[in-house]
Amino acid sequence: MTQLSEQPPANARRWWQQTMRLALLTLAALAVFAFAVHAFVGALDTLVFFGFPLGYYMAAQGSVIAFVVLVFWFVAWQERIDRKAGVAEPSPRDPEGSL
């Protein structure tokens, strides 16, 4: 693993831009599930999901599930960005990264 400071400035800038874009996209998705879904609970209650009104389900369980999925999605994309920039952590199974 190389440090980001050891990368050429153009690569470091590109890594930072991609990381910020990913973070902002993730925050926007979190905001949708945290605020927008709950703002429309009444309208969503007209639909039924697994025997529960969809608004209730999304407020009680759907948002939490979406948050967990977003965390795993964010980590996977950040790993791709890091590998592409050459600053990823070594894999635990990587013999070159072991001591």
Per-residue pLDDT of the chain (99 residues; tens, 9 = 90+): 556 666 677 788 899 999 999 999 999 999 998 888 888 888 888 888 888 888 888 888 888 999 999 999 999 999 999 999 888 887 777 666 555
**Residue 95 in domain:** no
pTM of the prediction? 0.72
If one counts the domains in the chain, the total is 1
- Does 92 fall in a domain? no
User: What whole-number distance in Å separates Cα of residue 42 and Cα of residue 36?
Assistant: 12
78 burial type by CB count under 10 A (0-12 exposed, 13-18 middle, 19+ buried): middle
Residue 2 lies in a domain: no
User: Are 15 and 81 in contact, with CB atoms under 8 Å apart?
Assistant: yes
38 is written with which tokens?
């709950």
**Residue 3 falls within a domain, yes or no?**
no
CA distance 18 to 81: 7
Burial bucket for residue 19 (CB in 10 Å: 0-12, 13-18, 19+): middle
**Residue 57 covered by a domain:** yes
Helix, strand, or coil (residue 39): helix
Within-domain flag for 5: no
Residue 62 structural domain: 11-83
User: Which 8-state DSSP code applies to residue 65?
Assistant: H
